[in-house]
Structure 1
């Protein structure tokens, strides 16, 4: 092969992480990856089926989705340890997106087609965004709003699964309707004691094992015991719904048959799912990469997860995300590379081809127990309490996101969460922290007089700090603050702006500075800047502000500005009863 051909081949290999992994694969890793893959399969099968039903889809689609997402991410995913698949946090979002479009009577085939189209849209959004280097969108949801969103999601999932845990179903919209329907069903005698017994026991056992023996395959233990109880006690004859025999064989390549109007209706849900999936993936990838001393490439993760979604969409699957719990299980079992995922995909495929009746006696309430246990793990009450203690504003944001999910629904809830995060960023830039600075004896530098009331001030000179870039939204706030300083008695001769936190000045702010400087000059007050960054200084020059603002009033440091003022006025530091 020519040198050019070899170089081209190397570039292709470097852009496909799975090929790079195989080229550097060590034989000693194989046994560990195989064992971890088999352990992972025991978790993937019941969870995949449970989360498919959470999304309003047939249980078998959860296995199809698991297979294709594992295969695709093994090839295109940059992480060596992340495990993708159906996720409890996405299930309600998928259901909220596709179920309103399903015709009356609950056409399962149409629901699957819509879910597959949703996966294709989600994957396309993520892959295109990753190729466009937009991985930063994971930062659209702040941690407090994500905590609130997940808490609301946990409550929504739990309430929605309670009827299934008790052996009956509820046809209601919204969490309020589901609570009323559940209570009504119990009072009307719809509860199946055997269903509640096997489901409740399974839920308790999962929670106990997770706490007492965190490395034990709790879900697998519960699935095996539930199947044994189903056979031994004839639960199917006692009114307990069972999984039954799964369809045999591998799903065929299928292009979802949906209309253009369906795609438009699915687009909003796909965008929300993409944001949540990416945020979850980046958070999980960062946590596990940090343990191994690696870094995370958000853009490549977007591409990898996007391709996994596209692959699932072409084989009757639905949108997927990273699972922190399944990734932890794989790592604890000794997983070294994505060969673990390949083994898991192969094992699930063999179950479909050879043993589709293996899980026929698995009770449906057990799957509800698996989902409820997952929902409980989504909630983070200690973090919510901590927010209340340390920062009430972020606690309020978290609770608003929580009620957004509970009251408005899952899709509206994620919109609320993203909106709150963006508004919080804008609020901080709109009304940034501002401070008057003074000199504190025996403490270098200049400090906020609100936290250091003993600070000394320089008569005739006010030093202020504005902790944000100057732009159209906060230009008036900045001007009002400086005019407030100029209106004090006695009137200061200099107002020194400690400009190091000001990282930008837009044209609106530049016009404001021009008008402000003229107004202050008319009152014999000079506007002084210290520690202005070079890029900002160049913009000041380009805007022509130095025609009004004296270039000699631009100092490299606050100390330099203070020294110049003292030389000019002879002022000395001293206490001030009331800073401006």
Structure 2
């Protein structure tokens, strides 16, 4: 499976197909030395190949030698970033890319990848294009140059790949299609009939060498290297964790960063391009029984033998077959189910997915990824700056308090307001919480006590402590007592260091729970309740 896929993904990256074999030998051996997953298949993958092409094409200026050197430098930079993240234990950084952002990105990237192969699938005489709009324009203007025999080869190849995957999934479908079409091409002289074939594929393996390029090239490639490093790691760690759960193994995220980083450094030194852990090949690896990194060693050795001895066999391989392999492989990345689920679950997640998808499709992979992450972070900051607040009432006959907006039959008191704040009390939210609570007491002049249930306040900072002291003073000016209940240890420690806790404690305004705070304030008037009612089974308890 890896031999034809690696050659196809090399072509997708804009590299000679044989470099895909280079990327599937030494990097695999290096990963086997450091990796913690027994089933993860590291090597060329579609997403990183597309990102490589998008990053290198504008810088290479059509020079194949410079393109190859830039590819090696890009792999070195990706590896260095991943190694640094692993050593510094920064694996959690990828959590800033939500599932919605990743789903939108991969779906758009899959469409771009598939569109980029139309030229080879139809045998069009079209210029190479990178962005989706440019690809569509190029294909549209060259539609009249489609080559009939190439189209037939593409249709047969795609049909063969799909049927083999559907009815005989354990067979190496890609390799069988490559072998069959290549044999037919040699016997029927497809190359002489206008079909684009690989022709000479160099044999052997390259010697290790560092690419020699300028500091300007490093600066130009850094944004792409960072994006590829994060996406490649996310793709690999996701499948590694999923397979480890099935085999009851453990995967160390930071060690995986070091392993895949070292693999990318070796790829840069051996005339290849960035690599990552792939979904489809890892699944095949797992189903074949791979449970230790030695399976990766066996794979690398077989690919090495192919590069040393079998490259002449690919002389008559039509490029359309490599395009068919890519298209069939990436179709599964178009995740309509995740898009529908994100929109149904929470609209803002669906919007994040949609923004990432549209920007990636129209502007490119890096802008799309950046737009999705930026939007997600903006939403996170907006939500954390406006924590949910709930006014509470007592469940009759108990010391339990519930949200009055969700439950009926709760006992309340017109003179005492109990409010729970569900979120951190820090610089981004402190002023909003203070203003909201002040607004509440302004609307109810009969209040003499405000009980702040801090059980859901898991963090605070100096701004939060200052806002709390200011709130206490503002309420005091109105003759209203502020009482704190269920303050968590870390928050209490911060209030102590800020000099706020001691004065609250001396005034007997801190309590172990809401019931104690209400009791200290004189208790709820029992006659003001609206009756008793057990919570509905369908209601959540907050």
- TM-score, normalisation: structure 2: 0.93
Q: What corresponds to 1:308 in structure 2?
A: 263
- Residues 1:159 and 2:112 are matched in the alignment: no
How far, CA to CA, are the matches of 2:397 and 2:505 in structure 1? Answer: 33
Are the equivalent residues in 1 in contact too, given 2:105–2:356 (CA < 8 A)? yes
Q: What corresponds to 1:49 in structure 2?
A: 7
How far, CA to CA, are the matches of 1:393 and 1:443 in structure 2? Answer: 38
- Residues 1:299 and 2:254 are matched in the alignment: yes
Are the equivalent residues in 1 in contact too, given 2:116–2:129 (CA < 8 A)? no
Q: What corresponds to 1:81 in structure 2?
A: 39
Q: What corresponds to 1:23 in structure 2?
A: none
Q: What corresponds to 1:226 in structure 2?
A: 181
Of the three residues 181, 190, 194, the one matched with 2:138 is 181
Q: What corresponds to 1:264 in structure 2?
A: 219
- Residues 1:542 and 2:497 are matched in the alignment: yes
**Shift in alpha-carbon separation, 1:204–1:498, aligned structure 2, 3 A:** farther
- Residues 1:280 and 2:201 are matched in the alignment: no
Q: What corresponds to 1:128 in structure 2?
A: 84
Report how far residue 245 of structure 1 moved. Answer: 2.8
Report how far residue 530 of structure 1 moved. Answer: 1.2
Are the equivalent residues in 2 in contact too, given 1:462–1:492 (CA < 8 A)? yes
1:116-147 Cα deviation digits (max 9, x unpaired): 10111110111111011111112120011111
- Residues 1:393 and 2:348 are matched in the alignment: yes
**Shift in alpha-carbon separation, 1:254–1:489, aligned structure 2, 3 A:** same
1:72-113 Cα deviation digits (max 9, x unpaired): 10111121221100110111211111111102xx22121111
Are the equivalent residues in 2 in contact too, given 1:281–1:321 (CA < 8 A)? yes
Of the three residues 143, 147, 152, the one matched with 2:103 is 147
Report how far residue 300 of structure 1 moved. Answer: 0.4
How do residues 376-387 of structure 1 correspond to structure 2 at under 5 angstroms? 376-387=331-342
How do residues 350-365 of structure 1 correspond to structure 2 at under 5 angstroms? 350-365=305-320
Is the partner of 2:487 in helix, strand or coil?
coil
Report how far residue 346 of structure 1 moved. Answer: 1.1
Report how far residue 444 of structure 1 moved. Answer: 8.0
- Residues 1:507 and 2:454 are matched in the alignment: no
**Shift in alpha-carbon separation, 1:48–1:549, aligned structure 2, 3 A:** same
- Residues 1:318 and 2:273 are matched in the alignment: yes
Is the partner of 1:330 in helix, strand or coil?
helix
Report how far residue 463 of structure 1 moved. Answer: 1.7
Structure 2 runs not aligned, ≥5 long:
532-542
How do residues 374-523 of structure 1 correspond to structure 2 at under 5 angstroms? 374-440=329-395, 445-523=400-478
1:425-456 Cα deviation digits (max 9, x unpaired): 22221122222222345998332222224443
Q: What corresponds to 1:170 in structure 2?
A: 127
**Shift in alpha-carbon separation, 1:98–1:387, aligned structure 2, 3 A:** same
1:521-553 Cα deviation digits (max 9, x unpaired): 111112221111111111111101135535522
Q: What corresponds to 1:557 in structure 2?
A: 513
Deviates more, 1:217-226 or 1:65-74: 217-226
Q: What corresponds to 1:95 in structure 2?
A: 53
How far, CA to CA, are the matches of 1:400 and 1:112 in structure 2? Answer: 33
Report how far residue 461 of structure 1 moved. Answer: 1.7
How far, CA to CA, are the matches of 1:100 and 1:182 in structure 2? Answer: 20
1:372-422 Cα deviation digits (max 9, x unpaired): 122212111111112222221110111011112012211111212222332
**Shift in alpha-carbon separation, 1:571–1:443, aligned structure 2, 3 A:** closer
How far, CA to CA, are the matches of 1:453 and 1:476 in structure 2? Answer: 31
**Shift in alpha-carbon separation, 1:392–1:212, aligned structure 2, 3 A:** farther
How far, CA to CA, are the matches of 2:530 and 2:180 in structure 1? Answer: 76
- Residues 1:206 and 2:188 are matched in the alignment: no
Are the equivalent residues in 1 in contact too, given 2:197–2:316 (CA < 8 A)? yes
Report how far residue 244 of structure 1 moved. Answer: 2.0
Report how far residue 333 of structure 1 moved. Answer: 1.4
**Shift in alpha-carbon separation, 1:539–1:333, aligned structure 2, 3 A:** same
How far, CA to CA, are the matches of 2:279 and 2:499 in structure 1? Answer: 54
Are the equivalent residues in 2 in contact too, given 1:195–1:365 (CA < 8 A)? yes
**Shift in alpha-carbon separation, 1:457–1:197, aligned structure 2, 3 A:** farther
- Residues 1:251 and 2:202 are matched in the alignment: no
1:352-380 Cα deviation digits (max 9, x unpaired): 22222122222101111111122212111
Report how far residue 423 of structure 1 moved. Answer: 2.3
How far, CA to CA, are the matches of 2:77 and 2:504 in structure 1? Answer: 53
How far, CA to CA, are the matches of 2:521 and 2:527 in structure 1? Answer: 10
Q: What corresponds to 1:63 in structure 2?
A: 21
Report how far residue 307 of structure 1 moved. Answer: 0.3
Q: CA RMSD in A?
A: 2.0
Report how far residue 172 of structure 1 moved. Answer: 3.5
Report how far residue 572 of structure 1 moved. Answer: 5.4
Report how far residue 303 of structure 1 moved. Answer: 0.2
How far, CA to CA, are the matches of 1:311 and 1:260 in structure 2? Answer: 20
How far, CA to CA, are the matches of 2:326 and 2:22 in structure 1? Answer: 18
Q: What corresponds to 1:239 in structure 2?
A: 194
- TM-score, normalisation: structure 1: 0.87
Are the equivalent residues in 1 in contact too, given 2:392–2:419 (CA < 8 A)? yes
1:48-71 Cα deviation digits (max 9, x unpaired): 111111111111111101112111
**Shift in alpha-carbon separation, 1:52–1:529, aligned structure 2, 3 A:** same
**Shift in alpha-carbon separation, 1:314–1:434, aligned structure 2, 3 A:** same
Q: What corresponds to 1:9 in structure 2?
A: none
